[in-house]
């Protein structure tokens, strides 16, 4: 799958510069909707993912997490009943990383520093 550096607007989305580390090295995917077709595009590799409230708005972050299998995480979220989510995510962004836990922790801290709070599903409540 082709990765896109989200520091430049894509597909008419708002700029998602907050998703790019200051060194510009993270290569995030384009936002994917939770469909079976999209699932095939997600690699079965470790990495960090972001759940979006609105797949057309990369700034609508609901959760930042890591997974040993990005495809497995995508599938689990896609198949989970809608009633389990107060706000159902509609989009999924990811980047591959062999140090996914460290990257997710670093990215979550960066998000909190820029936004003043954690994403909704990372709040601990």
Q: What confidence score (pLDDT) does residue 20 get? A: 43
The total domain count for the chain is: 1
What's 66's domain CATH number? 3.40.1440
Please state whether beta strands 32-33 and 91-96 pair in parallel, antiparallel, or not at all (unpaired): antiparallel
Give Cβ neighbours of residue 86 (< 8 Å, ≥ 6 apart): none
In a domain, 12, yes or no: no
Q: What is the pTM of this model?
A: 0.78
Q: What confidence score (pLDDT) does residue 24 get? A: 53
Q: What confidence score (pLDDT) does residue 125 get? A: 56
For the segment 35-45, the average pLDDT, to the nearest whole number, is 95
- Show the domain range for 112: 17-122
Per-residue model confidence as pLDDT tens digits over 55-113: 999 889 999 999 999 999 999 999 999 899 999 999 999 999 999 999 999 999 999 99
Select the more confidently predicted residue: 15 or 108: 108
């Amino acid at each position: 799958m082709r990765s896109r550096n989200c520091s430049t607007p894509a597909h008419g989305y708002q700029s998602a510069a907050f998703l790019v580390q200051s060194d510009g090295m993270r290569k995030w995917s384009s936002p994917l909707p939770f469909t079976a077709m999209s699932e095939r595009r997600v690699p079965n590799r470790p990495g960090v993912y972001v759940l979006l409230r609105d797949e057309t708005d990369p700034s609508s972050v609901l959760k930042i997490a890591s997974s040993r299998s990005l495809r497995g995480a995508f599938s689990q979220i896609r198949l989970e009943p809608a009633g389990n989510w107060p706000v159902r995510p509609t989009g999924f962004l990811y980047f591959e990383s062999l140090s996914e836990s460290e990257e997710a922790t670093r990215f979550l801290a960066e998000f909190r520093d820029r936004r003043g709070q954690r994403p909704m599903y990372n709040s601990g409540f």
